[in-house]
Structure 1
Amino acid sequence: MFKSIASRRPSAGLVVGLIALFVALGGTSYAAINLPKASVGTAQLKNGAVSAQKVKANAIGSGKIKDGSLLAKDFKAGQLPAGPQGAPGAQGPQGEKGQQGEKGPQGIAGPQGPVGISGYELVTGPEITIANGVSAQQTIRCPVGKRVLGGGYDAGSSTNLTLNRSGVSNAEANSWFIRVTNNSGADRRIQGQAICVHVAS
């Protein structure tokens, strides 16, 4: 029985199967060593098979890069020079008016300031008669505690009456002095006036 098995030759199918097995087990080494030149193309490369570490330094030049394919983000910061400043654009439309905010709390009241002018009073002097072609003068005194701010006279009509002087009296404090000349051709009656007030010190 054993003699018949040992003397039997392997069939053609078995031989082909064994050859295929050996090729499958050692095909990678065989192909790597015996690949013809320029025999590997795009179709033989698996997508994503070539990593950055597999690319030789300075192996890719300008001629290998598609024109217009690089973006600004592909360059290191500061590598791309800034272009000239462009012309200012047209002014945009005015925005809508915003809503009014809520009223804030009332602030603390400040200290009261000094009292200013108060107690306004127009003091009128006694009536005096000025003959034609004559000048007359009068001093109007403010009440005690008040100061004079201004003055003048009342004659009903100032036609042909000349006011020679109107001002603070040089002789009496807080008094108003006037001097009037009558050129009307008749006697005229006038009354001097003084504006008197309280002034806070």
Structure 2
Amino acid sequence: MNPIIAFLNSFGNVSEDMFAELKEISVYKKIDSGEQIVKLQEVPTKLYILLSGVIRCYLSSESGKDYNKSFYLPISFVGSLTALIKNKPSSFVFETLTACEVYEVDYKKFMDLCKENSGVNTLYSKVLEVVYMKYENRLMDLIALDAKGRYLELRKQVPMVETLIPQYHIASYLGITPVQLSRIRRKLDSY
């Protein structure tokens, strides 16, 4: 089975016809490492299905320090959801950490398709539920876990995190310094 169809079917039943309609409003793209697919204060018009590679979502402070909010691995939906829904500038930057392959989906056409096709609308609702649950879990981790616990949770979610994502990005995501992350990793390795 096509891995994209299998991924979409994890949210609900996606027929071949529905997949064809979704593919019609999508464009396959290869993107180099270090490209910003959503820029800060840009009003986005696209959402993405990540087929290969790693993308990060981050916020920059006024002093220029980056704070990683999320990492996206294949196969997943990627996009500045609040900015897309509100048609407002994005508060976040989405940047490829590696070369990536994506389907770029026109958000307006996707929303039009949701109005026309109840199956696509149901799929969108299911995706939003999963996105919200991931957000809620991330918030719980930040509130309830110490740095070591957050790191262990990240390693559970992304088993090869050290080989996929640079240490300074991991540290930023965990809300700690790279030095603190090195100490945590050293302690874990000594067990």
Give the shorter-chain TM-score range. Answer: under 0.3
Determine which structure has the larger helix proportion and give its number. 2
TM-score, length basis structure 1: 0.19
Larger Rg: 1
TM-score, length basis structure 2: 0.19
